[in-house]
Chains A and B, each alone.
Chain A
Amino acid sequence: MPRFDQARPFLTLGLVLLVWLVLPTAVKRVTRLGFYELQSPVDIAASYARDLQDFWSQKTRSKNELIEAARDLARLNASYELRLQDDARLRTEIARLEELLRLPSYGDFRAEPARVVRRDFSVWWQRLVIRKGANHGLTVGAPAIYSGGLVGRVSEVHANTAVVELISSPGLRLAAVFDGDDRPVSFQGGVNAPLRPAEALLEYVPLDVFATAASPRRLVTSGLGGVYPPGLYVGEVFTLEASTDGLFKTGRAVLDPRLGRLTEVTVLVPLDPAP
């Protein structure tokens, strides 16, 4: 009997696993989704608590500091105002040129800012859970950006939360271009250990593209793939090596370390999603 008592936990675990294995896929899916939905209030509450904590820590600042920050903010707003005007002018010009050259317009996006609830980093995936979901109009596949460029794309959407797969994740692949070049190259997140600078793999790089530590090349989204808008910063490339087949080069892109510390992202929800 004592022997059986000792083995009971393992037996139970085995039974649970067996039951999970034989459960129909639909039940499993519902269970998994239910888990997310049940867990999300806890995550969201924790996220709000962190925000409150941040708010009270800010309240300890002196008036002078606040005044200085407000001035900075005003300056920043003014510069953004200017850039907005510039953007409007450029948009008109692009529309004119597209019309002239009979080019199709890129679909427009609606920006949906969302706080980061949780970071889920491992060797096999790198994801963020954000505090907005289907109730806010988020869709699977929508790109997520931040002030430094591209964050990734939404891979799962729940009622009030969504999962964003980061560009450092091996499961994410996109067509990028080198800044100033229009030939697409394949960008795929690498196998990145947590707490280390993230890297991504580059393939199909044309042979006449060069990048060295002394003169690195910026990598941006191509806009050709139909998922991400063009020109979003993706990473920096320091080395490129010719592959043995002589057709292309391969290399690694170093990603922005801020990706691992993000507290807020903006999801670009397509206004006219593809059918």
Chain B
Amino acid sequence: MAYAPRSSVPDRPGSMVESHRGYDPRLWLFYGLLALLLGVLAAGLSYQQLGRTDLHRERETVQSQRRVIVPGPRGNLFDREGRLLVGNRPRFAVTLNLDELRTEFRREYLRVRRNYRETGDKDLPNATQLERIARVSVVQGYLQTVNRILGVREKVNAEALERHYSQARILPFILLEDITAEAYSRLLEQLPVNSPLQVYTASTRSYPHGRLAAHTLGYTASDDYLAVNEGLPGAELTTFKMRGSVGRQGLEAALDARLQGQAGGAIYRVDPAGYRLQPALEKRRPVQGADIVTSLDLDLQRAAEIQMAENGLAGAAVALDIASGEVLVLASHPDYDLNDFTPRLSEKTASEINAQGAWLNRATQGLYPPGSTFKLVTALAGLRTGHMLPDSQVECTGSYQVGGRVFVCNNHRDRGIITLPQALEKSCNTFFYHYGLQTGIDAIAAEARLHGLDRPTGIDLPHEARHMLVPDPAWKETRRGDRWFPGDTANVSIGQGDLALTPLQMVCLVASLARGETITRPTLLHQNPPEQQIQPRDGIAPIARAAILAGMEAVTNTGTGRILQTPRFRVPGLRIAGKTGTAQKATTQGILNFAWFVGFVPVEKPQIAVAVIVEGDTPGEDVAGGRYAAPVAGAIFKAWADKSGLYPPVATTTAPPSLAP
């Protein structure tokens, strides 16, 4: 029997056979439209991917990267011998890197929420509140570790934590600030190396000498507007800056641009929640600012301030190197401790400083009538104009009549003929009334202006007084609408009236006089070797200068400044030229005395010039230049002489012990 294979296809015609009807032409339109749309998409994609690559990369970078800026430490300030005046000290803090706690925050959140639900608390906080609670809880847990190690009981400041978390979670959160070296050591040893808790070091200003030269050195304050070096990459990124500092007073402010360090920083990639991903993509270390050598002399400054503190009265002292104009001493009393300004000044301390009137730098900002020290200007003016001669003399009777007014001279008891040197020695007012009137206010004012007494000295300190005053008829007419009287001239001749000068101006005057020049440009920056002052000569004849110097030397030997020859201040062999002054000023409390001393040493080869002012604080109290101001100058001269080595102490001879027969 033949076997016929079965067909695999069932013979059911019509049911399984497809009939090809061809494509509907309308579909082509659809295909075309589809192709067009796909083309547009492809073109758009290509354009975005190829044409706008840079833009997207930039956006991606801005969105996913953050820049952290760290301020550079400030430069140091040294005295002229390289001794540190202002430096930086490390400030240790315990910080917590929040970006390493993301998982812990989440776990704590779930735990807190579960607890609330289990206890059936109806006041279930919302999700944001729960997150906050969880964060505080986790951070407090870490703080407990620190508490255990250090034996303290600190608590997390929840507000500060929230602020930090929302604004700068990329930066470490500071748990404890300004910890001691011992605490730092304990944490260093007991915290694991890879813990989110770390010991963070920042730089803060340090003033090893506390109050010394406080007004001159100045202080800094925190600064949120940290200048960023242009070379630091990532300018387009969201930037977090750690707080820097800026000079607010004194040299810290004047030299801020040089002292300011270069900020460093790092760029981190962050996740969408703003948590930092380690390690940094780019890092640059901060660089310390420039070190600056000032012209101050620590020993002289200290000597001046000790003596001023002993006086217990407000005042100022300035000493200059005569040849270079470099400031050796610039002290103002009362003062403040510069270390109180770091890390920040407390309100209590600020109000104490305020109450003492210690903010004012009396050396550069205090305006005082110069009193009898101005007689040097009157003498120079008289000698220059020829109204006064080196051997000019006047008979002092204790009073001098100018017009209808009698001007008294109570400065000395020795009435009679007074010469120029004697007038300076005894500070005779009659002599200077007489020759001042002869010389005339215009010549006296011109002399003062010639020596720069009508304008700021231009010292490299901020806020130097600008309203110093050398009065003359034109000024009086303009300012007061009144004419100038001879009595005004008499007053100005002895440094009274409307004259208002700073101690710094007076020391410049004395330095110029010592050099035989008209101007001295003071500076607080030391150069090695010091740059010599080259200023116009004053044109005073040698014989006239000799008469002035003789008078000034006599002041400190036998005159009003003879306290400098007492054992405490006397330096054997050191010849001192000086001039005392006691000015009166009417205040709301009454008439106060201002004691002055200006001078220089040594007479034969002038090296340093000094000006000292001491403010009386009680009306009627006899605060005289010779008693209050000259000792401060004496302390400076003595310190200088000790350092110079030119004046070795005279060996005191003691009698040999007698031998018993």
Contacts and interface: CB of A to CB of B under 8 A. Distances in A.
Contact of A244 (B75, B190, B193, B286): B286
B193 A224 contact: no
A186 B184 CA distance: 9
B185 A245 contact: no
Nearest to B89: A247
Most-contacted residue by chain B among A183, A186, A225 (CB, 10 A) = A225
Given A244-B285, A246-B73, A247-B203, A227 B189 contact: yes
Contacts of B184: 175, 184
Interface string B420-443: 000000000000000000000000
Contacts, number: 75
A227 B190 contact: yes
Given A170-B193, A204-B90, A247-B88, A175 B285 contact: no
Interface string B190-214: 1011100001010100000000000
Interface in B171-198: 181-182, 184-186, 188-190, 192-194
Interface residues of B, number: 28
Nearest to A187: B188
Interface in B254-303: 261, 264, 285-288
B352 to A, nearest CB: 31
Contacts of B287: 244-246
B203 A222 contact: no
A173 interface: yes
A25 B110 CA distance: 19
A9 B353 CA distance: 81
Contacts of B188: 173-175, 184, 186, 225
Interface string B59-76: 000000000000011011
A171 B195 CA distance: 11
A246 B288 contact: yes
A225 B189 contact: yes
Contacts of B199: 186
A246 to B, nearest CB: 3
Contact of B90 (A170, A228, A248): A248
A243 interface: yes
A226 interface: yes
Nearest to A223: B185
B186 A247 contact: no
A248 B87 CA distance: 12
Contact of A245 (B148, B186, B285): B285
Contacts of A175: 184-186, 188-189
A244 B288 contact: yes
B190 A245 contact: no
Nearest to B183: A224
Give the interface SS of chain B, mostly helix, strand, loop or mixed. mixed
A172 interface: yes
Interface string B125-153: 00000000000000000000000110000
B88 A246 contact: yes
Interface residues of A, number: 24
A244 B285 CA distance: 7
Most chain B Cβ neighbours within 10 Å, of A186, A227, A243, A244: A244
Interface string A98-114: 00000000000000000
Given A171-B193, A204-B90, A243 B185 contact: no
Interface in B38-76: 72-73, 75-76
A105 to B, nearest CB: 15
Instruction: Identify the interface centre among A170, A183, A186, A228: most chain B CB within 10 Å of its CB.
Output: A186
Nearest to B70: A245
A183 B181 contact: yes
B262 to A, nearest CB: 9
A188 interface: yes
Given A172-B193, A174-B188, A245-B203, A224 B288 contact: no
A186 B189 CA distance: 9
A224 B181 contact: yes
Nearest to A141: B190
B589 to A, nearest CB: 49
Interface string A223-236: 01111100000000
A226 B287 CA distance: 34
A236 B469 CA distance: 66
A226 B73 contact: no
Which of B149, B188, B203, B286 gathers the greatest number of chain A CB atoms within 10 Å?
Answer: B188
Interface string A147-172: 00000000000000000000000111
9 contacts: A175-B188, A224-B182, A224-B185, A227-B189, A228-B189, A246-B75, A246-B88, A246-B287, A247-B203
Given A173-B189, A175-B185, A226-B149, 8 more contacts: A170-B193, A171-B193, A175-B184, A175-B189, A222-B185, A225-B185, A245-B203, A246-B73
Interface of B: 72-73, 75-76, 88, 90, 148-149, 181-182, 184-186, 188-190, 192-194, 199, 201, 203, 261, 264, 285-288
Give me the 8 closest cross-chain CB pairs, A-B, nearest first: A246-B288, A225-B189, A175-B185, A224-B185, A184-B185, A225-B185, A227-B189, A244-B285
